[in-house]
Amino acid sequence: MEDYQEELTLDEQIQPPDSIPNHLRAGFWMRFWAYLIDLIVIGSISRLFINPIFRLFDISMDNTGIFSAYTIVDSIVFFGYFILTSKFLAQSLGKMIMGLRVVSLDGTPLDWKTVIFREWIGRYISAVLMLGYIVIAFNPKKQGFHDMFSDTVVVLEERGK
């Protein structure tokens, strides 16, 4: 008889909230560093792809207004990055590097509605309130406003599987 370890799928790894011990929830600093890494990735995408395209087609890169072409495209890249990586990977590149993952509180896989609400609307509200991310440091459940609004939590991934 062969001895092998079955590899769990992402859906099987997700746990309901009551079974997520507090020490497995990602705190402020881990999430802060992951977010900084993500900003570097997004900035790199903008500089490597958006800027040359705008220059090639002689489109103004003036981003002083919220409705300028550059600001709109840059915002699409920003929110698109977080929405797509959260939906398909349950983690952004920054979260991957830091060993973090987004899970829903009810233990189900992240659906489009949850991801869009968390990453677009929730993140926007958190940014406008300016305290939306700081709340993570003081909330015993280690959730930001965008997590609370979308019933999600960021957890530490198990390493060494």
Residues of the chain with pLDDT > 90: what percent? 50
In a domain, 16, yes or no: no
Interval 101-114: pLDDT, tens: 999 988 899 999 99
10 assigned to some structural domain: no
Lowest mean pLDDT among 5-9, 50-54, 68-72, 149-153: 5-9
What is the mean pLDDT of the segment spanning 87-101?
96
Question: Does residue 5 form part of some domain?
Answer: no
Residue 87 lies in domain: 21-156
Residue 15 lies in a domain: no
Count of C-beta atoms within a 10 Å radius of residue 48: 9
- pLDDT of residue 84 exceeding 90, the answer is yes
Provide the token pair at 1: 């008889």
Question: What is the pTM for the complete model shown?
Answer: 0.80
pLDDT of 62 above 90:
no
For residue 88, the model assigns a pLDDT of: 96
Task: Give me the number of domains the chain comprises.
Answer: 1
- Which DSSP symbol is given to 65? S
Return d(Cα 157, Cα 43) in angstroms, integer. Answer: 26
Q: Which of 154, 149, 120 is nearest to 34 (CA)?
A: 154
